[in-house]
Structures are given as C-alpha cells and as structure tokens.
Structure 1
Amino acid sequence: MSIAQILKDAKAGMDKALDNAKREFSSVRSGKASPNMLDTIKVEAYGSLLPLNQVATVSAPEPRILLVTPFDKGQAKVIEKAIRESELGLDPAHQNGIIRVPLPSMTEQRRKELVKILHKLAEDGKIAVRHARTDARDKIKKLDGVSEDDKKHAEKDLQKVHDEEIGRLEAMLKAKEAEIMEV
C-alpha cells in the first residue's frame, strides 16, 4: 500500500464521517418541518428494528406538521410509539391510519437544548474524523521501504486533511446552530 492510497482512504473515511454528521444534523429540527427530521427514528416492525422511512412515508404538508403514512396500517400504533419515545420531544396523534406529528413552537430553552444535541453530534463527527486520521497514521508508520522524511511529509499532509475536515464540520455546526437560534 502506498502513501497516496493511505491518504486517499483516510480522506474517504473523513468524508464519510462528515456525511454522517450532516445527515444527523438534518434530523435536528430547525424552524420548519422537514421529512428527514424523523430519519433517526427506529421502529420495531416485523421482528426487527427498521428505520422509519422503511415502514412509512413522511411528508411535510405544512410548516408545523409532519404526516407519517405507514405502508402497513397495522404498524401505525408502533410507529406512533417510536416517534413519541424518541429524543425529539414530539407528540404524534394517530387517526385513520395516518399519524399527524404537530411540531411545537420553539422556546428559547428548547433551542438551547437542540444546540446542545448538535454539539454532541458534532463531537461524534470529530471523533470519527480523528479515528480515520489515527488509522492512517498507524498505517504510514508501519510502511516498509519508505524513508522517514516521506513518512513525516505524509503525516503532515494527513494532519492538513484532518484540519480541513474538522473546519468543514465546524462550519456545518455554526450554520445549523444559527438556523436553530433564528427566531
């Protein structure tokens, strides 16, 4: 394995961590309803835990309401329970096989709670980026037939990529934080 391949793999791992953080950020509620707010919810269906989007469709017909339409009407109660028990603080109502999820207006306290959740998700993303860097650094140190100078340069390049990725994550965090705190 070459240094270039190790750096490429590390960059891919860091990008994957950023994509995951972006997906997690999108599930945190901002000012208006978005169908992907419920993406992190898992539903006990057919003997296993499935993501909500595999057992129902989610739509946002109005800025303050989400509609969840189960593929199997018999799963409505289970889906409703999963939404209610999630960390999102939502209170769904089930009627005629459709689950209406009204979004409460955001108080200052709720906004601050959501920002704390965002910071935790961002920290998880940073940890994943650091893991990718550490793995790549270990691989570089174990390379045979490569001079120490080349290894040092590779580690500097790796650190530069790491710093760029962390910077992108911080920018995503600041943007989402501003979106949440906007009244």
Structure 2
Amino acid sequence: MSEEVLKDAEARMEKAIEVLRSELSTVRAGRATPALLEKVTVDYYGVPTPIQQLATITVADARLLVVQPWDRSTLAAIERAIQKAELGLNPQNDGQVIRIVVPPLTEERRRELTKLVRRFGEDARVAIRNVRRDAIEELRRREKEGLLSEDESRRLQERVQKLTDQMVGRVDALLEQKEKELLEI
C-alpha cells in the first residue's frame, strides 16, 4: 500500500524528465533536427494541424532540413507557418519541397540558449521537488491515520529523498549534455 506512493512519485518524476527532454529537443544547437519543427502548427483548411501530420521532415545534412508535404497544395501554408513560428529559420520553397538552412549560432545566441536550457532544468527540478513534497505529505498523513508505523514512514521518506536525488542527477546530466552541445562550435 505504501509502496504505491513511491511508485506514483517515481512515475510523476519520470514525466517531469520527459517534459524536460521534450523542451530540450526543441532548442536548436546549430544542427538541423526534425525536432526543431515539432511545435509548428499549420493552418490546414482552417484547422491548426501539426506539421508532422502534413509532411515528411528529413535532415539532408548537418545544416539542412527538407520538408516534403504529402499534398503540394499545402506548401505555401507550411512555409507561412514556419515563418510565423519565429524559430529564426528562413524556409525556401521550390514548388516541390521546402528547404530550411539552419544558420550557425552566434556566441550571443549560444549564451541565450544556455540560459533558456538552465531555466528548463530548474523547472524540472522544481517539478521533481513538488512530487517529493506531495509523496512525503502523503506518507505523513498515512502515519497519522495509523496506516504506517513511524519507522516505516521514515524509511519510505528516505527512499523518496533518494529517488529525488537520483532524478535531479538525471536532470543535471541532461542539462550538462545540452549545454555542451550548445557551446560546441
């Protein structure tokens, strides 16, 4: 019964890390990746549609993305959506596909992106700590209700803390990896 508190806490902490991974994948490191266009939505016959549902996005080389729509009539709408997304990318439409050259990052832009990545990391740490707080409060509540002994509650709280430390360590490792990628020229 008390193990379910730990399992729930672990699952919620894993979700926080997955959200961080998702956010980090949208931060471009001067290298072309389809994840750059993940959050772009295209106005497709009046319905905002994710670009992945309208086209194939491939990496032609380290600095070039190619967007090939399944329906050529959507080329202009996709091109407008990429421009509106304010990703700092300039799509080039040749009537068949859209080519997007990913420009190299300036030193100033690298520093800005590093700050953004750190903010994402701090948000993930806060989310993990909130999960820890909720789990410990639940364990204390169960202890007060007589569902757990004091020793059992303390032992489980220590396990929650160890789990929290482990998850924060994973967040730090992800951030370190992304910062290294951003500052690499």
TM-score interval for Structure 1 and Structure 2 normalised by the shorter chain: 0.7 to 0.9
Question: Is 1:149 matched with 2:154?
Answer: no
SS of residue in 1 equivalent to 2:90: coil
Question: Is 1:6 matched with 2:2?
Answer: no
- TM-score normalised by the chain length of structure 1: 0.88
1:71-98 deviation digits (Å, cap 9, x = unpaired): 3323322322222232521111222142
List structure 1 segments (4+ residues) > 4 angstroms apart after TM superposition: none
**What fraction of aligned residue pairs are identical, expressed as a percent?**
37
CA RMSD of aligned residues (A): 1.9
1:126-170 deviation digits (Å, cap 9, x = unpaired): 233223223322322332321223222222211111111011101
The equivalent residue for 2:74 is 75
**How much does 1:46 deviate?**
4.6
Q: Which runs of 5+ in 2 are unaligned?
A: none
Question: Is 1:176 matched with 2:178?
Answer: yes
SS of residue in 2 equivalent to 1:92: strand
SS of residue in 2 equivalent to 1:59: strand
Query: Using the alignment, how far apart are the partners of 1:104 and 1:60 within structure 2?
Result: 14
Letter in 2 for 1:161: L
**How much does 1:15 deviate?**
1.2
Letter in 2 for 1:157: R
Count of matched residue positions in the alignment of Structure 1 and Structure 2: 182
Seen in structure 2, the aligned counterparts of structure 1 residues 122 and 156 have a Cα distance that, compared at 3 Å, is same
Question: Is 1:64 matched with 2:63?
Answer: yes
Compare CA radii of gyration and give the structure with the larger one.
2
- TM-score normalised by the chain length of structure 2: 0.87
